[in-house]
Every structure is written in C-alpha cells, then in structure tokens.
Chains A and B, each alone.
Chain A
C-alpha cells in the first residue's frame, strides 16, 4: 500500500508540468494562510505592530497568488475599458498597494484568531471557485466568514476577490471609484489612490 502511494506520488510528479501548479485551490488557500499566520504570530516586529514588516510578508507570500489586474478591473466596472493600457497598469499598482495594506492590517488585527476551513466542493472542469473559511474570534458570538474567489489561469489558481462577512473587498470600491472617475477622470482616480497610499505610508511611519 505504501509502495503504491509512493509510485503514485512519483507518477504525478513526472506527469505534472509543475508541482506547485497542481495544488488544488482549497489546499492553496490553506497552506498560504497557515504559513502567513504562523510567521505573523512568531515575528517580533509584527508583534510589536510593524505594518511595514507585515506588508513585506504579504508581498512575499500572498501577492504571487493574487490576480490584481482582474481585481482592479472588477472594482472599476465599466470604467476599466475607458482606461488606456498605461492607466490600467497605474491603477492596478495603486489599488494593489491599498489592498495589500488593508489585508496586512486585517491579518495583524486578527492574528490570534483561529481559522476554520469550510467543506470545499469542486467539479473537475471548474475554472472559477470559492474557498470558504471562517475566523473564530475570541469573545464573539459568531465567526466571521472570509471567502476567497479563485480563477484558474493556465495551470495555477489565482485569487481575484476576498469576501469578508459577505462584503467583497474589491467590488466595495466600485461606487467610490465611479464617483472619482466622474469627477476627475481616470487620472483623477489614479491620483486619489496614490495620495491615499502616501498618506497611509506616512501615518504608519509615525
């Protein structure tokens, strides 16, 4: 039995183009979450409240699994197609920075809570799935749901939306983005996002 398992493991290793790429979406979310939480709980700087260190960690461990272009397009809605390629790139960069900061802060705030993974169902041909998790907060009556929407790009799964307690961190920006675009055009929105990022950066350095 053991030998059979070993053979199977070897076979899947050689048959798959990349071992990482083979990881199922739920396993991916679990391994990344567990790894990041583990580091956050142990890291001295983060324990002392260093947002900078948390952001570094998220950039290193979490970013590669996110599709920020898709996220930005989702947050922009129909305005996305108005933006030139260069503007789309700038928007994506600025929005990425804001989301990374938000996500890092959330991780720091909730670092001592336990994460629970909900049963995951997926059909073989699926290219768009939701991995559901729950955050159990000490002192609270109810866990907070935290869902990840993932999309298959070629061989790897990438997160394109994070939904906290039923609220999408991405589409929740849609109306404020639309207002910015209406008032100052695409460039106006880029400027607002960049200004927001800069003000958060200076605030966190204090």
Chain B
C-alpha cells in the first residue's frame, strides 16, 4: 500500500516536472521581455515544478492539517515558530537602524518565551508589541542594494538575486536548522512548512481566479510585496499615468527621495 502511494507520487511528480520543463523550454522562445525577469524560461519551468510539488504533497498535507487540528492549536503552532523567528527579526531591525523596533522584538521574545509558554501564546501582541516581518534580503534592500533579477528557486519559490543571498543568511542563522537532534530538527522544519502553507490556503482560489497568467501574477505580487516590506508598508507610490507596462517608472513621490531610489531600478 505504502509503496503504491509512493510510486504514484513519484510518477505524478515526474510527470509534472516533465510538463513544466517542456513548457519552460517553449516559453523560453517567447519570453515577454520583462526587464526584471531575464531568465523567464527557466523561472517558468521551476515555477511549474514547485506548483506540482505543492499540488501533490504540500497543499494536501496542509489542508489535512487545517481540517483536522482545532484552530487554537494551529495558532499555537504558528506562534511557536513565529516566536523563534522574532529573534532574527530583531537582529535585522537592528541592522536596518531601527533600534526601537529591535528592542520591541527582543521584548516580544522575552515575554512570549516566558509568559507565553515557549511562544505558544502571543502575549506580547496583546500587550501592544507589534509583530514585525524582517529578513536579511530586506536588510540589504534597506541598505540600498538593488534587488537584481527575479528568480524562482527550487522549493523556496520566488526570490530576487538579492533575496536569494539574503535567504542563504536566513537559513544559516535559522535557530530551527541548528537543532542537533536530526529527527527533531526535521520534524520541526516540516511542521513549520505545513503551518506556513496552511495560512495561505484561503488565498489559493483568489489568486487562481484573479490571474490571467498565474506565473506573472505571482511574480509581480512577490516583487510588490518585497518593495512594501522593505519600506515597512509605505512604499513609494506608482505614478498612475506615466507608469509604463515594463515597470521602469516606479514613481518617487513616497517617503524620502533616498528610499524611493531603492524602487527605481537601473
């Protein structure tokens, strides 16, 4: 029984990968010429493989997780990992020159680890210490590093060159990845993936229906989201009427001119 399931999975995955690569090669002949996406052929192929992986394993398991576990337990699991992440979020805030946020993040870790039973309860949020979202890629962005080309990584999904370098640091400094007991580490990593994915289940249908072309919809959403995160929710606005389709003219009417600089590429 077990082997049958395994072979079916492998076969399906193999098929998905094959179709994706074929589509990617065809796509490679007809890239849309987006300046942010010079390796669109490869990216589309990788996107297809990741989608296949999601469809066959990650989404079904996450749906099961969401359907079976009571919502308070799901929140507890999400909070537990969120608390661990707050540590490096604080460090990144410090590196970005935001000591107040960094102090709040450190406060969150202290409160949630103790009063919140190892992070299972997010007591800090109810106390008004807001949760932040930072990573090394954002820190580089804050420092003025250009985001570079868009790239779809195997398994990790959408990134830019800058965020890929950031990801290497993120993974390297991830406390969960440094758990010595390997089976525990792997269980924790897998649980975190499922918990993260379960949060996004509701968005699936919305994206599926909204997109004319899912690949470019996800790409553009990723790029916009990163821009917004780097500016902590206040990115420079698009200039409505001079904006061109190739995305070369992100306007500069947002915060300071220095930060708007990050948005304009080349």
Consensus secondary structure, chain A interface: helix
Q: Across the interface, do A179 and B216 meet the contact criterion of CB distance under 8 Å?
A: yes
Q: Which residues of A contact B71 (CB under 8 A)?
A: 138-139
CB proximity of B238 to chain A, nearest CB, Å: 5
Tell me the bound Cα distance from A123 to B186 in angstroms. Answer: 53
Q: Is B170 an interface residue (CB 8 A)?
A: no
Q: Which residues of B contact A139 (CB under 8 A)?
A: 66, 71, 74-75, 78, 198-199
CB proximity of B82 to chain A, nearest CB, Å: 4
Consensus secondary structure, chain B interface: helix
Q: Which residues of B contact A78 (CB under 8 A)?
A: 241-245
Tell me the bound Cα distance from A83 to B34 in angstroms. Answer: 22
Q: Which residues of B contact A173 (CB under 8 A)?
A: 212, 217
CB proximity of B155 to chain A, nearest CB, Å: 21
Q: Is A105 an interface residue (CB 8 A)?
A: yes
Q: Which of B203, B221, B228, B245 contacts A178 (CB 8 A)?
A: B245
* Size of the chain A interface, CB-CB below 8 angstroms: 44
17 contacts between A and B (CB under 8 A): A74-B240, A80-B241, A98-B210, A102-B206, A105-B209, A109-B205, A137-B199, A138-B74, A139-B78, A140-B199, A141-B78, A172-B224, A174-B243, A176-B216, A179-B213, A179-B245, A182-B245
List residues of A whose CB falls within 8 A of some B CB.
70, 73-74, 76-80, 98, 101-102, 105-106, 109-110, 137-142, 145, 163, 165-169, 171-182, 192-193, 196, 200
List residues of B whose CB falls within 8 A of some A CB.
32-34, 66, 71, 74-75, 78-79, 81-82, 122, 131, 133, 198-199, 202-203, 205-206, 209-213, 216-217, 219-221, 224-225, 227-229, 233, 235, 238, 240-247
